[in-house]
Amino acid sequence: MTAAVLAGIGACLPATAVPNEELVSWWADRPGTTSVDAGWISSRTGIRSRHVVAPGEATSDLAVTAGRRALDSAGVRAAGTVVLATNTPDRLSPATAPDVAARLDLGPVGAFDVGAVCTGFVYALATAAGLIAARITDSVLVIGADAFTTVLDPDDLTTRAVFGDGAGAVLLRAGTAGEPGALGGFLLGSDGADRELIEIPGGGSRQRSTGLPVKEEDTYFRMRGRPVFARAVTRMSGAVRHTAEDLGWGVAGVDRFVLHQANARILAAVARGLRVPADRFVSNIAEVGNTVAASVPLAMAAGAATGRLRPGDRVVLAGFGGGLTWGSAALVWPDLPLPSYDTPDQGGRT
Amino acid sequence: MTAVEDRITKILVEDFKVRAEDLGAGATLRDLGFDSLVIVELSLSLDNEFGVELGDGELTDAMSVAEAAELLLAKGVSP
């Protein structure tokens, strides 16, 4: 059976990093706020720094760089289709993927966006695997990219502490099920009854059809942290277990878990619940924060760059995000050139 | 101490690094320094250990180990 096989990987972080110390110093300078120390942010989230876009820099700019690096990593200049997972497109309409495809000189290929917030990249992988299995295309550039700091309330320390910007990309080619890099074990899920736990309520048809001006606070991202935390742990644990069992590995037979980097304590709780050592979880959240759709591919790239993902490793990927949505997939890590990506704590991007 | 309380205590000591001596005489989770996020983490650990589903806000920081055990028993956990 035709399978989608991981053939290249790339990543991109915006140049500006904002460490916790800078964030809390900005916060302390505001009138009427209580002071917060930098350690409070890292103990609650595991995040020490995050990258943010420069004025005028957009999601597509990050996506193009990550996409080019994934093509370079695969040693190719073409892709049959571009699927971009993002929740912060350059414009409300049209989709951002065609622009990315054009700037990568890929020609008149199919290109579209997928929206599943922090699960977007896993949904995009499943979509791409389906396109390849159905022989609609022979290769897909799958990109997860978000400039999520552009939708944060500038006066909200809690979301500014958590989120960062970035992009990660993989090139998938048609191959054979069972070969290294072949994706399998997909699970996709959703629960729209909890749509208001993670949302940007303004700007869509629900608000615009009222004919009333949008309230400023409704244009910003908001999230109800505690219920989201509990559901993230429960859903990602279930998804991981399903995928590992579907492939006959069992959770204990998985070498590395690459989960959505929402909060280090969510990853710890998943590890505890699955009864697997926490060191099997690849994590780059300390350096990049929660990068939404870019989170899983950036963690894959960081894992490969630092040798935490090695050829032959049984790897399970999982995401969880707004919608609510969740999803998982797995692969045996293939022998790839190291991603064109310096981990941020080793001196920034290449 | 009941069997359910014993199992909760084991989780608190092993996974949440609570000192056993701090658990005496009806100490609440708040007394142990648990904030709202830790309550969510403990709630998930109890779900996992006892095979129940504690909803948002069912376990609170005002509860002691004995009260958490009562909550679990009310959810059908065998004593």
Lowest mean pLDDT among A8-22, A314-328, B22-36: B22-36
* Alpha-carbon span A231 to A324, nearest angstrom: 9
* Alpha-carbon span A295 to A87, nearest angstrom: 12
Give the residue from A155, A176, A197 where a domain finishes: A176
Contact check, Cβ <8 Å, B40/A234: no
Of the residues A47, A233, A234, the best mutation for testing chain B's interface (the one with the most B CB atoms within 10 Å of its CB) is A233
Tell me which chain A residues have a C-beta less than 8 angstroms from the C-beta of B56: 226-227, 230
Q: Are residues A199 and A73 in the same domain?
A: no
CA–CA min distance A270, chain B (Å): 9
| Active-site residue list of A | 118, 260, 290
Q: What is the mean pLDDT of chain A?
A: 93
State the residue for tokens 């080019």: A68
Nearest to A204 by CA among A326, A86, A87, A55: A87
State the residue for tokens 């055990």: B69
A273-291 pLDDT per residue, tens: 999 999 999 999 999 999 9
Residue A303 lies in a domain: yes
Contact check, Cβ <8 Å, B48/A265: no
Question: Looking at the complex, does the CB of residue A238 fall below 8 Å from at least one CB of chain B?
Answer: no
* pLDDT at residue A349 tops 70: no
Give the residue from A128, A159, A176 where a domain finishes: A176
Instruction: Give bridge partners of residue A84 from the DSSP assignment.
Output: A113, A143
Cα→Cα distances A286→A40, A169, A214, A250, A273, Å: 13, 20, 35, 29, 22
Residue A60 lies in a domain: yes
A240-277 pLDDT per residue, tens: 999 999 999 999 999 999 999 999 999 999 999 999 99
Q: Identify the closest residue of chain A to B44 by CA–CA distance.
A: A230
Q: Are residues A322 and A189 in the same domain?
A: yes
Task: Provide the number of structural domains found in chain A.
Answer: 2
CA–CA min distance A346, chain B (Å): 31
* Minimum-distance CB partner of B43 among A230, A265, A272: A230
Stated pTM of the model: 0.91
Contact check, Cβ <8 Å, B36/A226: yes
Neighbouring CB atoms inside 10 A of A172's CB total 32
Q: Are residues A78 and A21 in the same domain?
A: yes
Beta strands in chain A (DSSP E): 2-12, 16-19, 49-52, 81-85, 110-114, 139-146, 166-176, 184-190, 198-199, 222-223, 256-259, 314-321, 325-332
Contact check, Cβ <8 Å, B56/A44: no
A135-190 pLDDT per residue, tens: 999 999 999 999 999 999 998 888 999 999 999 999 999 999 999 999 999 999 99
Containing structural domain, residue A14: 2-176
Residue A349 lies in a domain: no
Tokens of A229: 């935390």
Q: Are residues A158 and A213 in the same domain?
A: no
Q: Are residues A227 and A123 in the same domain?
A: no
* Alpha-carbon span A248 to A313, nearest angstrom: 15
Neighbouring CB atoms inside 10 A of A192's CB total 9
Lowest mean pLDDT among A7-16, A145-154, A217-226, B15-24: B15-24
pLDDT of the residue at A338: 78
A96-136 pLDDT per residue, tens: 999 999 999 999 999 999 999 999 999 999 999 999 999 99
Q: Are residues A101 and A240 in the same domain?
A: no
Q: Identify the closest residue of chain B to A235 by CA–CA distance.
A: B44
Q: Are residues A144 and A49 in the same domain?
A: yes
pLDDT of the residue at A345: 35
pLDDT of the residue at A341: 58
Per domain, the residue ranges of chain B are: 3-74
Residue A348 lies in a domain: no
Contact check, Cβ <8 Å, A269/B43: no
Out of B35, B47, B56, B61, the active site residue is B35
Q: Are residues A14 and A109 in the same domain?
A: yes
Question: Looking at the complex, does the CB of residue A265 fall below 8 Å from at least one CB of chain B?
Answer: yes
* Minimum-distance CB partner of B41 among A225, A227, A265: A265
What is the interface pTM, i.e. ipTM, of the complex?
A: 0.73
Q: Are residues A167 and A189 in the same domain?
A: no
Mean pLDDT of all residues in A3-31: 92
Neighbouring CB atoms inside 10 A of A248's CB total 8
Q: What is the CATH number of domain B3-74?
A: 1.10.1200.10
Residue A246 lies in a domain: yes
Cα→Cα distances A264→A206, A229, B37, Å: 34, 11, 12
* Minimum-distance CB partner of A272 among B15, B37, B56: B15
Q: Are residues A167 and A220 in the same domain?
A: no
CA–CA min distance A115, chain B (Å): 27
Contact check, Cβ <8 Å, A272/B56: no
Q: Are residues A194 and A333 in the same domain?
A: yes
* Minimum-distance CB partner of B45 among A44, A265, A272: A272
Q: Are residues A104 and A209 in the same domain?
A: no
Residue A109 lies in a domain: yes
* Minimum-distance CB partner of B56 among A44, A230, A272: A230
Beta strands A256-259 and A222-223, pairing class: unpaired
Give the residue from A176, A199, A220 where a domain finishes: A176
Contact check, Cβ <8 Å, B40/A226: yes
Tell me which chain B residues have a C-beta less than 8 angstroms from the C-beta of A227: 56
Contact check, Cβ <8 Å, B37/A269: no
* pLDDT at residue A350 tops 60: no
- The domain that holds A311 is classified in CATH as 3.40.47.10
3-state secondary structure of A288: helix
